[in-house]
Structure 1
Amino acid sequence: MNRRDFLERASALLAAGLSWTRLRSAEAAPWFRISLAEWSLHRTIFGGKLDALDFPVVARRTFGIEAVEYVNQFFFDRARDRAYLGELKRRAEGEGVRSLLIMCDREGRLGDPDPARRRQAVENHYKWVEAARFLGCHSIRVNAASEGSYEEQQKLAADGLRQLVDFAAEHELNVLVENHGGLSSNGAWLAGVIRMVDHPRCGTLPDFGNWRVDAETWYDPYRGLAELMPFAKGVSAKSYDFDAEGNETRLDYVRLLRIVREAGYRGYIGIEYEGDRLDEMEGIRATKALLERVRAQLAEAQNDQGGQR
């Protein structure tokens, strides 16, 4: 072997080695990361047992979770209080916790049939966009409540959302809509709204469990999740209760997470425990354990399929 051949082969082996290292590193990384939604601790916070400012601290120290999703109800009058928000940001950053989004409620209907009320609802959310930007979040989560026929509500919700998204885009923030009751819990309806808005900053935050359209109608959770995942910039892992094996009793997490994975989603999935048999701390731990187990199970199945090709 001459010197030139030796160098070419050595370079090829080195490149292959680096590629293998990168591949092994990518395989070692989880295909989604786990965050914690503040609503999981709503009874603890509303009951005065936990200061909302300490939520990021609890997420990291109690549960080993590195990212959080805030709920505006816990600091509803503090959206423009820079001292309060600054302290919240300081505590999150001090724990190495990433602030992902703020879930926004009680600010009016973005799809209100009355143009003035619809516009007021849009403007009511401005302060949360600004607060989310200050905290370092990527999004706010909103509701797409409206009134009227199926088609009328789609148009009205899309109009309000588009107005809000135009403002949020100026702050480099996303506006995400959750399936959260009414027609928003109809996956096809909400997917149609997002298409009408037609803006890269407008997406969804699919929730595993919020599929009650009205008193008599429940939407299929697996169909709904599949319909919303193409627009997802976050996912909410709702949980209520667990059996002796640690499986969620109302929802098939393997099936749900398979839908998430097959959609190509690789972001955070937020724990949102809402049960009442286990206390909130135990419910969060049970949900985290289930997510970790199914995550590993699906990753192993994917690796096995890849090895058979």
Structure 2
Amino acid sequence: MSANPYSLSRRHFLQSSAAIVAATGLMGPSLGAEDQSDPPFKISLAEWSLHRSLRDPSKNLTNMDFPRVSKEEFGIDAVEYVNQFFKDKAEDNDYLTELKSRCSDLGVKSVLIMIDGEGRLGDPDDAKRKRAVENHFKWVEAAKFLGCHSIRVNAGSSGSYEEQQKLAADGLRQLSEFAAPKGMNVIVENHGGLSSNGKWLSDTIKMVDLENCGTLPDFGNFFINRNPVEWFDNYEGVDLMMPYAKAVSAKTHDFVGGNTVVHMEKNGKTYETDYEKMMSIVVGHGYNGYVGIEYEGGEDEYVGIRKSKELLERVAAKLSETAATTTG
């Protein structure tokens, strides 16, 4: 891990400006007016943003309602599911057909499914690792049926730095080989332990060396340990992961003004994300796909999601303005 804070270099500024220019249609007159107004990235909603509501029986909210809530409450027409909220439905064709039909009726796109609780893909025990890989097969099939492009997985393991890398790469390779003929991606989030070390994770993806195995950078999940805190610089981590990114997670907690979100304060130190700086890194890598809102703050979830969307829209407008000024 770098000892110095990551700073946005001139190289990244120029890269981000060029990427935004391309995404917003400012490179030439051949694109229509509708193309020129397009933002530099798209916004989706991660289901975990509503995890408290989904677990509260009094809210009467289920996974089947998620696409409707996303579209009608927040104006977001792309969703990222969490398998915890329909854990027993991966092979239920009637359930998946109904969910897909609701999305179609609403004009909502299913982007990915986040998978937890199916075993460690980097388990040191060969049999357990193989079982974990196979446990994910049904979710690859479910995601494909729903029209998703990816499943998000974890790279959990144990052992030394190098041992965990080899074990995780092995499990990810096996799963990615299963997913590839189906046109599906397997993407890994920085999600605690060594997976929150941006260098470890990016190097692990290099070891897998398959086009459909990539990353899902999460802005606020760079806590390798929380007690005591071991934090991999989030700007550096996202920069390392973006060459392999097929989705991006905009983690939000406490809104403190401007474009900054605080993820945690501990022992006098603040762990935060400057969204303008972070999204400059993201688009600087040529990424213009979905950025998924994942709100985890203490406010009402609906309020937090709306604030997160407003933040992303504000930053998108700022980045587009900066790109236009730079190339004007």
8 A Cα contact 1:246 1:286, kept in partner: no
Structure-1 residue corresponding to 2:283: 261
Q: Which runs of 5+ in 1 are unaligned?
A: 1-18
> 1:44 aligned to 2:66?
no
Tell me by how many angstroms 1:247 deviates: 4.0
Determine which structure has the larger strand proportion and give its number: 2
Structure-2 residue corresponding to 1:5: none
State the AA in 1 paired with 2:310: A
Structure-2 residue corresponding to 1:148: 159
Q: Secondary structure at the match of 1:65?
A: coil
Structure with more relative contact order (C-alpha pairs < 8 Å, separation 6 or more)? 2
Measured in 1, the distance between the counterparts of 2:161 and 2:260 equals 36
> 1:228 aligned to 2:241?
yes
TM-score scaled by length of structure 1: 0.91
- % identity of equivalent residues: 59
Structure-2 residue corresponding to 1:251: 273
Structure-2 residue corresponding to 1:299: 320
Is 242-251 or 95-104 further displaced after alignment? 242-251
8 A Cα contact 2:295 2:305, kept in partner: yes
Provide Cα deviations, 1:35-93, integer angstroms capped at 9, x if missing partner.
00000000000112112101000100110001000000000011001111111111111
Structure-2 residue corresponding to 1:275: 297
Measured in 2, the distance between the counterparts of 1:186 and 1:158 equals 15
The one of 299, 305, 311 aligned to 1:284: 305
Q: Which runs of 5+ in 2 are unaligned?
A: 1-27, 263-271
The one of 55, 58, 68 aligned to 1:57: 68
Structure-2 residue corresponding to 1:213: 224
Structure-1 residue corresponding to 2:17: none
**TM alignment of 1:122-201, pairs within 5 A:** 122-201=133-212
State the AA in 2 paired with 1:259: I
Tell me by how many angstroms 1:245 deviates: 4.7
8 A Cα contact 1:236 1:271, kept in partner: yes
TM-score scaled by length of structure 2: 0.86
Structure showing greater Rg: 1
Provide Cα deviations, 1:249-270, integer angstroms capped at 9, x if missing partner.
3321111101101111010000
Tell me by how many angstroms 1:26 deviates: 3.2
Measured in 1, the distance between the counterparts of 2:33 and 2:162 equals 49
CA RMSD, 1 decimal: 1.2
Measured in 1, the distance between the counterparts of 2:171 and 2:134 equals 10
Measured in 1, the distance between the counterparts of 2:171 and 2:242 equals 22
State the AA in 2 paired with 1:91: R
Measured in 2, the distance between the counterparts of 1:236 and 1:75 equals 21
